[in-house]
Copies of this chain bind each other. A is one copy, B any other.
Amino acid sequence: MMKNIAVVLSYDGTNFNGWQIQKNGPSIQESMEDAIFHLLKQKVHVSGVGRTDSGVHARRYVANFHADCTIPMDRLPYALNSFLPEDIAVSGAVEVPEDFDARFNCTKKEYAYYLFPSTLRDPFHARYAYRYNYPLDITKMQEGAQYFVGKQDFASVRSQGTPVKSTVRTIFWCEVEPVDDLIRIRVCGDGFLYNMVRAIAGTLTYVGGGKLAPKQVRDVLLACDREQAGPTLPACGLFMNRLWYDDTPELDRFRLSD
């Protein structure tokens, strides 16, 4: 019997060319479609909550696909994992209504960006945080981060990519906090422009390093000019961190520890 199945997964994006199938290089989407093909002998299209760029990680990602599947939902993660590489893991699966779509049903997304402020490298952070060579004032970053919150035009912190109708988005929170020897920036919104979180993180390094006063973040956003904001930081520090599906709260059961 055909089912619409939503899966919760996580992946270390280091060795992938992002979520979406690419001509050259492995993608998470392709790995998922291959695993489903090996398990169910069906060629399916797996829809993801969004594209992630090459090297970006996901602590939590939701995708869905339509397939004829008799494997119980609580066994499906184990079955799929046996056909997936070590850097991708499915942690949950639920049958969802026919019209559920991982992208369109997602109501809120949270990304996390990790900075490692250190002149010296640490091999255990190399894959998962961006090393920043200069000191960062966390208090100033926390103050500056608040200016990103709200319904605003985010044209200053996006890269050119697929054309979008509007550059207005709503950011619900933007929190900066120390986590061990790292600084974690968590940004939650109803949607994100291309490279938006990496540009927000880059702007916050300007604030933390004293190039911009915290309150100048407001002016940067009002300018709607990419040149006024900080740089787009590297992909390695970025994680898709948490997703909300208001109509399908059971997807939250499979949340990994933060």
Contact = CB atoms under 8 A, between A and B. Distances in A.
A12 B59 CA distance: 21
Max chain B C-beta neighbours (<10 A), residue from A11, A87, A121, A256: A121
Contacts of A134: none
A47 interface: no
A122 B9 CA distance: 9
Nearest to A258: B180
Given A180-B257, A181-B257, A257-B181, A123 B81 contact: no
Interface residues of A, number: 25
Interface in A109-134: 119-124, 126, 128
Given A78-B119, A119-B78, A180-B257, A126 B87 contact: yes
Interface in A65-87: 77-78, 81, 86-87
A10 interface: yes
Contact of A11 (B86, B87, B123): B123
A171 B104 CA distance: 57
Interface in A45-99: 57, 59, 77-78, 81, 86-89, 91
A123 B257 contact: no
Contacts of A10: 122-124
Contacts of A89: 120-123
Contacts of A57: 124
A181 to B, nearest CB: 5
A84 to B, nearest CB: 8
Interface string A229-258: 000000000000000000000000000110
Given A78-B120, A86-B123, A89-B120, 16 more contacts: A10-B122, A10-B123, A11-B123, A12-B126, A57-B124, A59-B124, A77-B120, A81-B121, A86-B126, A87-B126, A88-B123, A89-B121, A89-B123, A122-B256, A124-B128, A181-B257
Interface of A: 10-12, 57, 59, 77-78, 81, 86-89, 91, 119-124, 126, 128, 180-181, 256-257
30 contacts: A10-B122, A10-B123, A10-B124, A11-B123, A12-B123, A12-B124, A12-B126, A57-B124, A59-B124, A77-B120, A78-B119, A78-B120, A81-B120, A81-B121, A86-B121, A86-B123, A86-B126, A87-B123, A87-B126, A88-B123, A89-B120, A89-B121, A89-B122, A89-B123, A91-B120, A91-B122, A122-B256, A124-B128, A180-B257, A181-B257
